[in-house]
C-alpha cells in the first residue's frame, strides 16, 4: 500500500506547489491583517477598543458596551466556525470521492497490467509456434 501512495505522491506537481506557497502565505498574511484591522479591535495594552477608552468614566455603560461587543464577536466566531465546518465537510466529501476514483483507477491499471501480461505471453507463444513451424 505504501508503494501506491508513493506513486500518487510522485504524480503531484511539487514544483507548482512550491511555487504557489509564497502566494498562499501572502494571502494568509493579508487575511490575518484584515482580521486584525477589524473595527472595534481591542488595544492589547489597555484591553479597550478606541470607542470604549473615550467613555471610560461611565463604567456601567462601558461594561454593557463591552458585553455587547463580546456577544457580537461570539456570534461572528460561531458563524466563522459554521462556515469552516461546512468547508471541512465539503473537503472530506471531495477527499472521499478522490479516494474512490483513485481506487477505480488502480483497479483499471491492475486489469490493464494483467491484460498486457497475457498479451505478451500469447505473443511469445505465437512467435515460438511460428518459429517451430518454419
91-115: string of b/e by CB count within 10 Å (b at 16+)? eeeeeeeeeeeeeeeeeeeeeeeee
What pLDDT is stored for residue 68 in this prediction? 94
- Entry pTM: 0.47
C-alpha cell recorded at residue 108: 483499471
Instruction: List the pLDDT tens digit at each of the 134 positions of the chain.
Output: 566 767 766 776 666 666 666 666 666 666 666 666 665 555 555 555 666 555 556 788 888 889 999 999 999 999 888 887 888 877 777 877 888 788 888 899 999 999 999 999 999 999 999 999 98
Residue 58's pLDDT is: 78
pLDDT at 70: 95
pLDDT of res. 90: 78
Amino acid at each position: 500500500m505504501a508503494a501506491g501512495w508513493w506513486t500518487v505522491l510522485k504524480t503531484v506537481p511539487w514544483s507548482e506547489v512550491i511555487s504557489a506557497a509564497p502566494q498562499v502565505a501572502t494571502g494568509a498574511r493579508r487575511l490575518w491583517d484584515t482580521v486584525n484591522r477589524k473595527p472595534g479591535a481591542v488595544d492589547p495594552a489597555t484591553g479597550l477598543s478606541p470607542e470604549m477608552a473615550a467613555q471610560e468614566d461611565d463604567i456601567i455603560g462601558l461594561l454593557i458596551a463591552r458585553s455587547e461587543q463580546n456577544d457580537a464577536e461570539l456570534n461572528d466566531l460561531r458563524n466563522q466556525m459554521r462556515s469552516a465546518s461546512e468547508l471541512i465537510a465539503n473537503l472530506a466529501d471531495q477527499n472521499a470521492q478522490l479516494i474512490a476514483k483513485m481506487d477505480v483507477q488502480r483497479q483499471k491499471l491492475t486489469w490493464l497490467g494483467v491484460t498486457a501480461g497475457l498479451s505478451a505471453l500469447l505473443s511469445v507463444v505465437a512467435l515460438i509456434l511460428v518459429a517451430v513451424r518454419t
